[in-house]
Amino acid sequence: GAVVSQHPSWVICKSGTSVKIECRSLDFQATTMFWYRQFPKQSLMLMATSNEGSKATYEQGVEKDKFLINHASLTLSTLTVTSAHPEDSSFYICSAIPGTSGSGEQYFGPGTRLTVT
């Protein structure tokens, strides 16, 4: 149980284009999902908290107009990187919390590797 999927697993796009990444909880409902970014040999950096039916909460320094988050249902959150640039190339990982748990038990997706050329 507690499986989270991401699609695509790997994407290459040209500078200036937009890319959408999907995060799905497959066997549970998730009121809250999170989006992280990870650089090589570094830990996860929280970008934003995605809440079903409401606006996402972005961490300090994360451009909300560049990283659009939509949590349209209890099993799906999407991250759209708009007008991507090479510096946006990174490993993006989502996570989800089952139900409305306040215990920090997060389950992570397999990640999406974005390369902007």
Partner 1 sequence: QKEVEQDPGPLSVPEGAIVSLNCTYSNSAFQYFMWYRQYSRKGPELLMYTYSSGNKEDGRFTAQVDKSSKYISLFIRDSQPSDSATYLCAMSAGNMLTFGGGTRLMVKP
When binding is defined by CB under 8 A, the residue of 25, 75, 77, 106 that contacts partner 1 is 106
Binding status of residue 28 toward partner 1 by CB under 8 A: no
Nearest CA to 96 among 47, 7, 35?
35
Give the nearest distance from C-beta 16 to partner 1 in angstroms: 26
CA distances from 104 to 15, 34, 98 (A): 36, 11, 10
- Residues recorded for the chain: 117
27, 2 contact by CB (below 8 A) = yes
The two beta strands, 112-116 and 10-13, are parallel
Residues 51-90 that bind partner 1 (CB under 8 A): none
Give the nearest distance from C-beta 94 to partner 1 in angstroms: 8
Quick one: 46 or 82, whose CB is closer to partner 1?
A: 46
CA separation for the pair 58, 50 (Å, rounded): 9
Binding status of residue 93 toward partner 1 by CB under 8 A: yes
Binding status of residue 43 toward partner 1 by CB under 8 A: yes
Binding status of residue 46 toward partner 1 by CB under 8 A: yes
Quick one: 43 or 65, whose CB is closer to partner 1?
A: 43
